[in-house]
Amino acid sequence: MGIQKILNADAQYGVPVKIFTRDIDQESIEQLKKMAQLQFVYSHIAVMPDVHVGKGATVGSVIPTKQAIIPAAVGVDIGCGMNAIRLNLKADQLPDNLAPIRHAIERKVPVGFEIHKQVKAKASTIIPLEKSLQPIIKKHSGLIRMLRKFDATWQKQLGTLGGGNHFIELCLDENQDVWVMLHSGSRGLGNVIGTYFIELAKKEAQHRFGHVPDKDLSYFAQGSNSFDDYVEAVEWAQTYAFENRREMMRLILEAIRPLLPPFQMTKEAINCHHNYISQENHFGETLFITRKGAIRAGQDEFGIIPGSMGARSYIVRGKANPESFCSCSHGAGRKMSRNKAKLLFNQDDLIQQTQGIECRKDLGVIDEIPSAYKDIDEVMANQSDLIEVVHTLKQILCIKG
């Protein structure tokens, strides 16, 4: 059974905070107490078992709001999420040496700060995105000044990975079937949109719902021009993130086809956000649900919960638990900062913890070492009320930005 810890509501803390783990640090608790004071938060805040402190809002939190949205709760990697597909290949059909496959993917999909030299996405993808972006930048021309070579950049970044904890993996499931899995978001323009509206919310400092305990929790009230503009912009970024993952998957499959036996994709394909806003009905109310580091786990909905680059990942099916607002964790969750990981671990530690995985093993990715993350098995055990496991994956190749 999942564990549920509740910070009780009172005059100081506001709505209850329901936490599906006992493994939570004091800094996250203090952050959640501030979030719970917001008068437009409905019912309670749900906190997933991969919880850790974030900027503005706690990572792993599900925040239901009425008539207001907090841009910093979504963050700057709007629409960040996962994509996974199963191939009709078995483990014994893969080559013993996976390095050529890794290098082929890296040549096809830019990682880190790199972008495509030319636009790779099809016109059928670019044109609708461009058309829906025009009204946004017409009203908020400052966005253009925040991204170098604005149009060329967002178009050339479609089908690129980015850095940090974004990744591309080849995995094997419990049946020795081969999966391709990736994690990325809305790239540079999504970051610009998030940053721009977070600062705008702070500048406007709306007080329709009273005191805000932290400037990072500044919000837009429904009915204001900024609210409508942010909803339009965040929906665009979420669509872009979805298309970015889809384009990246296309390029990955294109890269690996010449190096593998002929294959096809199975019907099992998942593309889901874990930093986003959606309008949903819960407890008889239409609410804005902000999932910051959480995925939707509605009844029989499929999702992806990745571990670290040396641990298992999971394909899951949702149980529509109302107390979590039909949500579950988005991964293992960090247990230490990137800077602390760089101080505590060295290259030998990384090599030891990624044995048997074709991946970078240099100091440039030491902050992504498995020991910097929580135990994914414990995280999964704590959310047995939220999801059931459909497939267990183990990566054999991992590309980090």
- Establish whether 224 is an annotated binding residue: no
- Establish whether 331 is an annotated binding residue: yes
Cα separation, 215 vs 199, in Å, equals 10
Nearest one of 95, 49, 133, 82 to 329, comparing CA atoms = 49
- Establish whether 265 is an annotated binding residue: no
Nearest one of 23, 113, 74, 90 to 234, comparing CA atoms = 74
Contact 67, 40 (CB under 8 A): yes
Cα separation, 19 vs 156, in Å, equals 40
Alpha helices in 37-122 (DSSP H): 71-74, 99-108
- Establish whether 313 is an annotated binding residue: yes
Cα separation, 89 vs 111, in Å, equals 26
Tokens in use for 23? 């493994």
Give the SS3 label for residue 102: helix
- Establish whether 309 is an annotated binding residue: yes
Q: Note if 211 is an active site residue.
A: no
- Establish whether 332 is an annotated binding residue: yes
Answer positive or negative: Cα dihedral of 81, 87, 90, 93.
negative
Which amino acid, residue 139?
K
Cα separation, 282 vs 66, in Å, equals 11
What is the crossing angle of helices 99-108 and 225-256, to 10°? Answer: 140
- Establish whether 197 is an annotated binding residue: no
Which amino acid, residue 219?
Y
For 275, the enclosing helix (H) or strand (E) is strand 275-282
- Establish whether 183 is an annotated binding residue: yes
- Establish whether 166 is an annotated binding residue: yes
CA-derived radius of gyration, the chain: 21
- Establish whether 330 is an annotated binding residue: yes
Active-site option among 52, 116, 273, 330: 330
- Establish whether 400 is an annotated binding residue: yes
| Residues linked to residue 196 through DSSP beta bridges, in sequence order | none
Known binding residues are: 77, 165-169, 183, 274-275, 306-309, 313, 330-333, 400
Catalytic machinery residues: 330
Known binding residues for GMP are: 165-169, 274-275, 306-309, 313, 330-333, 400
Known binding residues for Mn(2+) are: 77, 166, 183, 274
